[in-house]
Amino acid sequence: MNRINIFFQCVIFFFLVGCEKQDLCDDGYKPHESNGQTICIPDYVGINPQNSKFGNMYYHEKYGIIVFSDGIWKNENNQIIENPNK
């Protein structure tokens, strides 16, 4: 009886540990599904994209994914964002 109890306790423990949410991205990045794959997008923190090593795609808390192209910020729906710092 004692072995069965220990066995079930171990099963429950490993089930709970295995079900923990695992962050796919480091701090300062958000996961984003693109073409069936999850990629990590850097958070937008008032970055000047012309001087950035991260490319032109960022995660903005208010607008979601935003892209800097030809001097203009746009969201995923291709809508222009006048000032993402507001």
Per-residue model confidence (pLDDT) at position 33: 85
Using the CB atoms, write b or e for 41-78: b if 16+ within 10 Å.
bbebeebebeeeeeeebbbbeebebbbbeeeebbbeee
Confidence of residue 3 (pLDDT cuts 50, 70, 90): confident
User: In angstroms, rounded to a whole number, what is the distance separating the alpha carbons of residues 11 and 63?
Assistant: 43
pLDDT tens sequence across 35-86: 888 889 888 887 666 665 556 888 998 999 998 888 889 998 999 998 888 7
| pTM exceeds cut of 0.75 | no
